[in-house]
Structure 1
Amino acid sequence: MIKEQYPNCDIRLEFVPEFNLNLHLDILVILDGKWIPIELKYTTRKCIKTINDEVYVLKEQGAKDQGCYNYLKDIMRIEEFRDKSNNFIEGYTIKITSEISYLKPPTKVNCTYAEFSIEDGSIKTGYMNWAANTGKGTMRGMEAPIVLTEVYPINWKEYSKVDDTNSGTFMYLVNKISK
């Protein structure tokens, strides 16, 4: 779709910039020598749906706490890319989910991922960390705090609605990282 809209662009998948060999970007769009990194996240709720005689089987991809952390980490990674690249013009993080609980605030009083919650209408900025009571298994590979230098509104929108069940609506979230 990007190539159809911008036929003169180049696209790199799983791009690794030379300044950080651990930073793997899902998509890098190169347009007139300028770079637009895009990070994608897709999580689903378990369901089986038949649409136009085609059967779709989606698995349960729980771990909402880690899903929120990883989405915000993508924003932080693109901010790093922005700060270290002369070619950066803008970047995007995109999350699509059929797990509607992402849109709602945490329900537990002692929620371990409260600072990472990406509920609809929230604002993400600054320093965010796991609560002190977070288990080591939950944080494995995600121990570092998230630090965002800019302000990011969390505004979910409907992507598609298959039916009225609790797994029948897909929502999306897009955040733009500016220069």
Structure 2
Amino acid sequence: MAQVEKLERITMGRRNICGIVVLLTNDHLHWTEPMQSNTVDCEFRIHENRIVTGELKWQEHASTGTKEKRDVPIFIKGRYQLKWHHYSTVNRDGHGEFRYIYNREK
């Protein structure tokens, strides 16, 4: 999400400039909605169909070690509904499926 914030700043008010953020992963925990909603990182989750906008920050009960060097909130000006896309299946074991998500910022 920090990369989306950065692209919004770079492209804001500029014509003929477009930025793209792409994430490719084989970790299903990124696209699967978590079972618990009150985790310390819940505002940073990027699961399928999540809508991301506004201020993103750690929950109050996050430890200092968790937040170390990442304690400044992220501000997303746009509104993004996250959609994951199938990329490849290497094998059917655990982490064999790859999916990607992208965001285009005008």
TM-score by length of 2: 0.91
What CA distance in whole angstroms lies between the structure 2 residues aligned with 1:150 and 1:109? 23
- 1:77 and 2:33 matched: no
8 Å Cα contact 1:128-1:147 kept in structure 2 = yes
Computed over aligned residues only, the root mean square deviation of the Cα atoms, in angstroms, reads 1.5
Count of aligned pairs: 106
**Does the residue aligned with 1:102 lie in a helix, a strand or coil?**
coil
* 1:115-154 matches, cutoff 5 A: 115-154=43-82
Q: Which runs of 5+ in 2 are unaligned?
A: none
Residue identity matched to 1:100? H
Distance, in Å, in 2 between the alignment partners of 1:77 and 1:109 is 27
In the TM superposition, structure 1's runs of 4+ consecutive aligned residues that sit over 6 Å from their partners are none
Which among 95, 98, 104 is matched to residue 170 of structure 1? Answer: 98
Question: 1 or 2, which has the higher strand percentage?
Answer: 1
Query: 1:7-34: per-residue Cα shift (whole Å, max 9, x none)?
Result: xxxxxxxxxxxxxxxxxxxxxxxxxxxx
Provide the TM-score with structure 1 as the length reference: 0.56
DSSP-derived class of the 2:12 partner: helix
Identity %: 25
Kindly indicate whether structure 1 or structure 2 has the higher relative contact order, using CA contacts under 8 Å at least 6 residues apart: 2
Q: Deviations over 1:28-76 (max 9, x none)?
A: xxxxxxxxxxxxxxxxxxxxxxxxxxxxxxxxxxxxxxxxxxxx00000
